[in-house]
Amino acid sequence: MARIKPFKAIRPAQDKVAFVASKSYEEYSKNELKSILKYNPFSFLHIINPGFKFHKNITGKERFALVRNRYLEFLEEHVFVKDGEASFYLYQIAKGDFKSLGFFCACSVEDYRKDVIKKHEDTIHRREQLFADYLYTVGFNAEPVLMTYADDSSISHLFQQETKHKPVYDFTSTDKVNHRLWRISSKEVISELKSIFEGMDALYIADGHHRSASSNLLAQKMETEDAKHTGNEPYNYFMACLIPESHIKIYEFNRMVRDLNGLSKEEFLIKLDASFRIEKKEDGLYKPTKKHHFSMYLDGEFYSLYLRKTKYQFTDALSQLDTQILYKTILEPILGIHDLRNDKRIFYGFGKHNLIKMKDSVDKGQFAVGFSLVPITMEEIKSIADAGLVMPPKSTYIEPKLRSGLTIYEL
C-alpha cells in the first residue's frame, strides 16, 4: 500500500515562475552559474547559493542558515506564495517528441522504511547525513524525488480531465523545455488518487536516492525531539514527483578508462578474448543494439564485444545487468578498477552525441579505451529493486530532469 498526500505548496508567483525555476545546481557550468546569479535576481539558485550576495564561498552550517534566510526573503518579497489548500500538482514536461506527465505529492517516510518505496542505488552515509542536517536547518524540500509507478488507466483518465483546464503555469525555459503545472484541489479527485495508490504494492525511485534517505534520517531525528510525535507531522513525508513508467526515458552511461593497467594493446585484447568474441568494425561509429553486447573504442578503432555466455554465469538480476557484466569481466579483473565510484582512472559520459565525444576523448589521448552499452530497461531496474540489490554507479541517466523551486514542501 503506497500512501500519498496533498500539501500546501510554496510556489513562485505566476509572473516570476520562468525566472525562479532552475535545473539542479550540478548541471550548470561555472560561467552559467555566474551569469544567472548576476543577471537574474529571482533564480532559485540565489537561495541555494547564498554566498553570492557576499561575494564569498560559504559552506557547512553557516551556508544552511543563509539558505533559510534567502528562502524567507523570497517569501517576504512575494517571489514565493503559499497555496491556501492542500493539493496535488500535475506537472507536464515536453521537449521535441518527448513528453512526460506526473504529479507532485508528499510520500511517506514509513513507506520508505518498509520498502514500499523501492531503491536500486547505494547511498553514501556521509552525504545522507549532510543533507539531513541541511533539511533540518532550512526546513523545506525544493527538489523532489522522482519515482515511477505502473501505468494505470484510471490515473491517466483523471489526468486527461485535469489537463483540459487552464494550467497555473505554462512557460518554456531557455533549454527549450515546455513546463505546465495544474493544481488539483478537488477533494473527490484527491480521494480517488489516494485510493488508487493505496492499492499499489510499490513505488520505484528513479532519481533521488540520497534525498529520500536523508528525509528518513531527518524524520528519525525529529521523532526523538518531538514529545508529541503522532506520525502525521510534515517531517514524516517528503516531496516526490510520481510519473508512470511509460513516461520515463532511460539512457546509458559510457565508460572511459585512462590507461590499460600496464598492458599493451595486444595483451589487453588477448585477455578480453577469454570472455568475449571480438570483431573489429570497419564502418565508423559503432553502437551496440543488444543486451550483453558492447562497443569498445581502442587505438583509433571500434570493436564489438559479444559476451561468451559459456564463460559467464547469470545467478541473479544484478549479474544480468550489462554495467555489472562490464565491471566483472573487464573493469575489475583486467583494468584493475575496484571502486567504480571513486577511482580517478574511470570517467562516465552520457548524452545524445556521447559516442562521438568518447571517440574524440580517446583520440586526444585523454583516455586509453572507451566502452558503450545499451540502456538499462525499467524492467531491469524493478528486478534489481525487488530483489533488494544495488546497481553499479552510473548505470542509468534518467529523464525527465525536474526543476528546483517549482513547488516547495515545508517540513
CA-closest candidate to residue 338, choices 296, 376, 393: 393
Q: What is the model's pLDDT at position 110?
A: 96
CA-closest candidate to residue 48, choices 26, 30, 31, 79: 26
Amino acid at the residue 75: L
Q: How many CB atoms lie within 10 A of CB 284?
A: 7
Tell me the C-alpha distance between 159 and 297, whole Å.
46
Domains of the chain: 4-250+399-410 (no CATH), 253-374 (3.30.1760)
Q: Which three-class secondary structure state does DSSP give residue 30?
A: helix
Q: What is the model's pLDDT at position 26?
A: 80
- Alpha carbons within 13 angstroms on the beta-carbon side of residue 43 total 22
Amino acid at the residue 403: R
CA-closest candidate to residue 242, choices 215, 213, 202: 202
pLDDT tens track for 315-365: 999 999 999 999 999 999 999 999 998 899 999 998 777 899 999 999 999
How far from 94 is each of 102, 172, 407, CA to CA, in Å? 12, 9, 18
CA-closest candidate to residue 147, choices 89, 109, 203, 211: 203
Phi, psi of 29 (to 5 degrees): -75, 165
CA-based torsion, 328, 331, 335, 337: positive or negative: negative
pTM (2 d.p.): 0.92
Phi, psi of 102 (to 5 degrees): -140, -165
Q: Which three-class secondary structure state does DSSP give residue 53?
A: helix
Chunk the chain into consecutive blocks of 10 residues (it has 411) and report each block's average pLDDT, rounded to whole numbers.
Answer: 97 97 87 93 95 84 94 97 97 94 97 96 91 96 96 96 96 94 97 97 96 96 91 96 96 96 97 96 89 96 94 94 97 96 93 88 97 96 96 93 95 95
Whether the link from the prior residue into 167 is cis, omega within 30° of 0, is: no
pLDDT tens track for 291-313: 999 999 999 999 999 999 888 99
Contacts of 316 (CB under 8 A, 6+ apart): 387, 389
Residue 194, all three cell numbers: 489516494
Tell me the H-state helices in 232-302.
Answer: 265-272
Helix (H) or strand (E) holding 207: strand 203-207
Residue 157, all three cell numbers: 483518465
Q: What is the model's pLDDT at position 387?
A: 96
